[in-house]
């Protein structure tokens, strides 16, 4: 009798572990996914090597959210290619149209403008619908050409304009355009590594 009880308890334990692992894998596949920060483009907010969790259930991010996404394929070449054929070197406006296909790369940046917003960028600061971004989290950009796009652009419907917090050293929507909603993977909401940075975003 004791042997049967032990065998039953062991079976229940194995089944419980199997169900827990299945649920964990399902959550990772459909709801939450981990990402490692590969570059310094989001300094000082996110450090190289920092690990975050992204909520994949959020379909429409808000301005200010940090998101994981596939950039346009125009982000792949160096220099980056804008989907607007009239966009050239020294053009006074940021890229206003992505290339037609997404890249297989995965980026993480901050949403600075959403569908229908009108923006221009002065010294790395975003002016959205005439109002300056509250951007105390950024690294100062300065007067270089990568920091100044004074001609206003309008973000297309269902697209989001992404920029790194490290404004002088970020490969972002300024150069390869807005990101369609369908290319967004999720919103970063929690840091789980390193230990001294554990917490919600």
pLDDT score recorded for residue 22: 39
Which residue segment(s) compose the domain that 9 sits in? 1-30
Mean pLDDT for 11-34 is: 53
**80 and 150 inside one domain:** yes
- Look up 182 and say whether it is catalytic: no
- Same domain, yes or no: 14 and 100: no
Instruction: Tell me, yes or no, whether 24 and 93 share the same domain.
Output: no
Question: How many structural domains is the chain composed of?
Answer: 2
Same domain, 86 and 184: yes
Q: Which of 97, 103, 109, 173 is catalytic?
A: 109
The per-residue pLDDT for range 84-123, each reduced to its tens digit, is 988 765 568 999 999 999 999 999 999 999 999 999 999 9
Residues 6 and 25 placed together within one structural domain of the fold = yes
Q: Do 112 and 188 sit in the same domain of this protein?
A: yes
Distance CA 93, CA 149 (A): 4
Q: Rounded to an integer, what is the distance from CA 163 to the centroid of its chain?
A: 9
The CATH number of residue 115's host domain is 2.10.109.10
- Is 39 tagged catalytic? no
The yes-or-no verdict on residue 5 having pLDDT over 70 is no
Confidence at 18, pLDDT banded by 50, 70, 90: very low
DSSP secondary structure letter of residue 102 = B
**From the CA atom positions of the chain, what is the Rg in Å?**
21
4 and 56 inside one domain: no
pLDDT digits (tens, 9 = 90+) for 119-160: 999 999 999 999 999 999 999 998 888 899 999 999 999 999
Q: Are residue 24 and residue 78 in the same domain, yes or no?
A: no
CA gap 106, 181 in Å, rounded: 14
Tell me if 91 sits within 8 A of 150, measured CB to CB: no
Q: Among the options 33, 36, 39, 41, which is catalytic?
A: 41
Say yes or no to pLDDT of 3 above 50: yes
């Amino acid at each position: 009798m004791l042997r049967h009880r032990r065998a039953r308890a062991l079976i229940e334990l194995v089944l419980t572990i199997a169900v827990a692992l299945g649920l964990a894998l399902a959550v990772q596949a459909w709801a939450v996914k981990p990402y490692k920060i590969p570059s310094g483009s989001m300094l000082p907010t996110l450090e190289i090597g920092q690990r975050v969790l992204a909520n994949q259930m959020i379909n429409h991010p808000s301005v200010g959210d940090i998101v994981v996404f596939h950039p346009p394929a125009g982000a792949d070449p160096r220099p980056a290619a804008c989907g607007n054929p009239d966009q050239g070197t020294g053009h006074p406006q940021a890229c206003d149209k992505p290339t037609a296909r997404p890249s297989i790369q995965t980026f993480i940046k901050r949403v600075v403008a959403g569908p229908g917003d009108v923006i221009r960028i002065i010294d790395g600061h975003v002016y959205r619908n005439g109002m300056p971004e509250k951007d105390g989290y950024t690294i100062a950009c300065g007067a270089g050409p990568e920091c100044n796009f004074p001609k206003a652009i309008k973000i297309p419907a269902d697209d989001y304009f992404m920029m790194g917090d490290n404004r002088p050293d970020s490969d972002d929507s300024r150069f390869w355009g807005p990101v369609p909603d369908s290319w967004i993977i999720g919103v970063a909401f929690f840091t789980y590594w390193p230990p001294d940075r554990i917490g919600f975003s």
